[in-house]
Structure 1
Amino acid sequence: MTRASNGTALVTLPNLVSTSRVVLGFGFLVTEAVMPRLALIAIASLTDFLDGWLARRTQASSRLGALVDPVADRFFALCVVIGFVASAQLSVWQAVALMFRDLMSIVGWFVARNVSWLRPITFKARLLGKAVTGLQLATFLVVLLWPAATDGMVWVVFGVGVAATIDYTLMLWRERVRR
């Protein structure tokens, strides 16, 4: 088992489960058949639950795992959205709306890292952020199984994404103290 300089394990079962979503994302990009895509979404959804459960159950939670999990989530979602745009199942505006919260998270991360008068804080998952991820996965199923409902789901994800962005922004602002 590979260990970090502080002695914590880098390669753990929960981290491997999280990382599997990267492979699943690539798999989504190389297939256009509905059934394999449904299976990939289902497996990714299962691994999203399983990695956290395993980390808590085996007491293998780590700072690295807390970073790997959301990055793997975002990578899988991005691969799915790119796959849907490439196969004309989503328009570019729908893709941007689905990924709005993720785009704002990247902007927020850069701001938090580069504004010197803000003290660093630990980013933690929040309920609205988890809701966006769940709704994104549900939307991916809708695109494959009930395309007529795609627009409505995209608007729901966008709305919850805006609310999640506001929630994260307010939380970060409250947690940060001017020097």
Structure 2
Amino acid sequence: MAMERSTAATRIVTLPNLVSTSRVALGFGFLVADAVPVRFALIAIASLTDVLDGWLARRTHAASRIGALVDPVADRFFALCVVVGYVAGGSLSAWQALALMFRDVMSIVGWFVARNVSWLRPITFKARLLGKAVTALQLATFLVVLFAPAWTDAMVWFVFLVGAAATIDYTLMLWRERVTEPR
């Protein structure tokens, strides 16, 4: 029994999961930092960890269900911290914040729907190309806010449109995976 718990604990505390959860600390760091070079470094490190955690999980055969949950939660937490920091500092408006986080809000709504609608089969949500594109575009937009603020509106709209497409993509996947009655 103790051996089983130890094995389960080591599956949670893996190098890829630690790399993923580092984005939580980076998010808090962004909220307290206001110097452009520091904010740039935090965004760059968060971007690097987003690539590194998946690579490490595959390379070390440490991919797990908990890791598949920790990674997107850490991504969303970091993005939320950056958006809150930018809104608080006046670099983003409320509508821009909502547009940047649209896909994330819809993902949470979708998760609750998938968990609570009886005729939907429980499915494992997996990262999809459009979802990854939204995350990459969010990170790029965070850099645009720092270094090319005149392009912020265009990037926000682009993130929103790709986020809407990702939301449709995830919704269609959920619909295709629903439980169907035998004929």
TM value normalised by structure 2: 0.94
Cα offset, 1:177, TM superposition: 1.4
Cα offset, 1:3, TM superposition: 8.2
Instruction: Report the counterpart of residue 41 of structure 1 in structure 2.
Output: 43
> Can you give the 5+ residue segments of structure 1 that lack an aligned partner in the other structure?
none
Contact 1:3 1:10 in 2 (8 A): no
Contact 2:120 2:177 in 1 (8 A): no
Cα offset, 1:92, TM superposition: 0.2
Pair 1:4–1:11, CA change in 2 (3 A) = farther
Q: Structure 2: how far apart are the matches of 1:90 and 1:178?
A: 44
Pairing 1:7–2:7 present: yes
Q: Structure 1: how far apart are the matches of 2:174 and 2:5?
A: 29
Instruction: Report the counterpart of residue 73 of structure 1 in structure 2.
Output: 75
Q: Secondary structure at the match of 2:7?
A: coil
Q: Which of 126, 133, 138 is the aligned partner of 1:131? A: 133
> Comparing both structures, which one devotes a greater share of its residues to helix?
2
Q: Structure 2: how far apart are the matches of 1:15 and 1:6?
A: 16
Q: Structure 1: how far apart are the matches of 2:174 and 2:91?
A: 36
**Pairs within 5 Å for 1:25-174:** 25-174=27-176
Compute the RMSD of aligned alpha carbons: 1.5
Identical positions, percent: 79
TM value normalised by structure 1: 0.96
Contact 1:4 1:10 in 2 (8 A): no
Q: How many residue pairs end up in the alignment?
A: 178
> Can you give the 5+ residue segments of structure 2 that lack an aligned partner in the other structure?
none
Cα offset, 1:7, TM superposition: 3.5
Contact 2:106 2:167 in 1 (8 A): yes
Q: Structure 1: how far apart are the matches of 2:6 and 2:102?
A: 36
- Where does structure 1 differ by over 3 angstroms across 4 or more consecutive aligned residues? 2-8
Q: Structure 1: how far apart are the matches of 2:3 and 2:145?
A: 41
Cα offset, 1:178, TM superposition: 3.5
Cα deviation, 1:58-82, whole Å, max 9, x if unaligned, reads 0000000000000000000000000
Cα offset, 1:117, TM superposition: 1.6
Q: Which amino acid aligns with 1:89?
A: S
Q: Which amino acid aligns with 1:129?
A: G
Q: Structure 1: how far apart are the matches of 2:125 and 2:12?
A: 20
Contact 1:132 1:161 in 2 (8 A): yes
Cα offset, 1:124, TM superposition: 0.3
